[in-house]
Amino acid sequence: MLKGKQTWIFESKPVILASAAVGGPFEAQGALAEDFDILNDDIWLGQDSFEKAEKKLLEQACDKVIEKSGLSKEDVEFFISGDLLNQIISSTFAARTLGKPFLGIYGACSSSMEGLALAALMVNSKAANYMIAGASSHNAAAEKQYRYPTEYGGQKPPTAQWTVTGAGTALLGQNGEGPRVTSATIGKIVDTGITDPFNMGVAMAPAAVDTILAHFKELSIEPSYYDLIVTGDLGEIGHSITSELLQKDGLNMPADIFNDCGLLIYKKDQQVFAGASGCASSATVTYGHLLNRMRRGELKKLLVIATGALLSPLSYQQKESIPCIAHAVSIEM
């Protein structure tokens, strides 16, 4: 049901029957290593290209989520997924392996929550009984496409971010035990005219602010409604800007319940500059760490705002600014 202009309330409260997070070696050294279902010790995953490695990550996450749900592969009806590579090849090729009706989406790093919101909408409207929402990113594949070759010796500024190598999936169903998706706020494009792709947190912050404000306004609730509110991959600078801007707009976000997936995933001594980024930042932290905390009873109400910088290497070279978006999904136990 539409509430306001951009928020959906899911009356049937689709259940996340199972979720899976897959990571690479750098994530294995990170702060949330225990919450990953599979940690690969090689960024190539035994494949001959980074792109194939990313596809493999998503395949692993799909297999794992089906296994964890106790369902059989035949039960799953749809697969919705997005990633960062051109023509979303990781999602498409993983969907080829899965062999299920597939919806490919692109929302850059916000694809994770865009997928979850749409999957919840489908399950809520009974368009699907069981479906998987997924997202993936691969550090080296993203660097190769968006920036420079991985071994190129370019100095990165402190505002740069580190793309997470990983994939996250959630299997949604009509009923059952588990965290439930209760509402979602779809964001609009916000462009602040920032052109520096090494400064994405700052570029995306106003998009996050726009969606967060809309979410609370349209649902007429306060941030204290949630036990935890996380943004996807704003990083240190973007996250603090978001807090400040929200404050300025009259929404007081308590610092102890407001965090960022990109700041949670790695340890302080890992050189990730301003923080983590990529579809897998919000996907693995949400579908791994945060949902595990919900299942343990540590969190009852969670709001995830996945942010995306919708630039392409071409648009950047043509001096276009970076259009940004954010989608919020509310998950409650």
- Binding residues (CB under 8 A) for other proteins: these are 48-51, 144, 148-159, 191-195, 199, 202, 205-206, 237, 240-241, 244, 271, 319-321
Q: Closest CB to other proteins among 44 and 225?
A: 44
- The separation between CA 4 and the C-alpha centre of its own chain, rounded to angstroms, equals 24
CB of 175 to other proteins, least distance (A): 45
CB of 192 to other proteins, least distance (A): 5
CA gap 90, 116 in Å, rounded: 17
Residue 102, judged by CB atoms within 10 A of its CB (0-12, 13-18, 19+), counts as: middle
CB of 202 to other proteins, least distance (A): 5
CA gap 37, 60 in Å, rounded: 10
Q: Closest CB to other proteins among 74 and 152?
A: 152
First to last CA, the chain: 20
CB of 213 to other proteins, least distance (A): 15
Q: Regarding beta strands 130-137 and 276-277, do their DSSP bridges make them parallel or antiparallel, or are they unpaired? A: unpaired
Q: Closest CB to other proteins among 48 and 269?
A: 48
Q: Max CA-CA distance within the chain?
A: 52
Q: Closest CB to other proteins among 101 and 313?
A: 313
Q: Closest CB to other proteins among 125 and 150?
A: 150
CB of 154 to other proteins, least distance (A): 7
Q: Closest CB to other proteins among 120 and 194?
A: 194
Q: Closest CB to other proteins among 109 and 234?
A: 234
For residues 50-61, one letter each, b for 16 or more C-beta atoms within 10 angstroms of the residue's C-beta and e for the rest, the string is: bbbbbbbbbbbb
CB of 163 to other proteins, least distance (A): 15
The neighbouring-strand residues paired with 115 are none
For residues 208-237, one letter each, b for 16 or more C-beta atoms within 10 angstroms of the residue's C-beta and e for the rest, the string is: bbbbbbbbbebbeeebeebbbbbbbbbbbb
Q: Closest CB to other proteins among 19 and 199?
A: 199
CB of 126 to other proteins, least distance (A): 42
CB of 49 to other proteins, least distance (A): 4
DSSP 87-111: GGHHHHHHHHHHTS-EEE--BTBTH
Closest CA to 3 of 217, 211, 302: 217
Q: Closest CB to other proteins among 112 and 243?
A: 243
Residue 291's identity, in one-letter code, is L
Q: Regarding beta strands 190-191 and 166-173, do their DSSP bridges make them parallel or antiparallel, or are they unpaired? A: unpaired
CB of 95 to other proteins, least distance (A): 21
Residue 307's identity, in one-letter code, is T
Residue with tokens 């409260």: 13
Structure tokens at 56: 């493999």
CA gap 286, 170 in Å, rounded: 10
